Amino acid sequence: MIQNIIDKMNEALGYELRAINMYAHYTANIKGIHRIHLSELFNAEVSESLEHSNIVRTAIVKLGGVCVTERNSDNIVHTENYTVMLEQALETEMMASKVYSELLEMVEKLDDRELYDSLENIYFSELRSVEGMRMLLD
């Protein structure tokens, strides 16, 4: 069971590492009037993903696992179109939410409230990002 949880956490970590790259890429590529707001938003997502990755990494080590160092291999779409960026962001956040909800179901069976709470906090922040991106695309 522990190994399955470690594997799922590594899946989440891979997605966080991918999110860091994707949002940093969009921070650099966002142009025009929308740069004012969106470069800040994307940059905040870089920081948040970095924080999440640190929490997940620490949790993997705590459970005796070895952390992945490679990002999830899903393609990062290059674009200068902010709508496409936001669509990619929404998809990324939905994927992260799904992985964390699966992870929470598994971690629930362990008797570790601290671990559960820290992962639940990440899950909620992913859900907020999903809603935030959805609103921006509305």
Which residues in this chain contact Fe ion in the complex, by CB under 5 A?
49, 52
How near is the Cβ of 99 to Fe ion at its closest, in Å? 9
Please, what is the Cα angle at 76 between 131 and 92, to 5 degrees? 20
**Residue number with CB closer to Fe ion (5 or 17):** 17
Nearer to Fe ion, 35 or 87 (CB): 87
Measured from the CB atom, is 38 or 46 closer to Fe ion?
46
- Least separation in angstroms between residue 36's CB and Fe ion is 24
The answer to whether 15 and 72 are in contact (CB under 8 A) is: yes
Q: Is 94 exposed, middle or buried (0-12, 13-18, 19+ CB in 10 A)?
A: middle
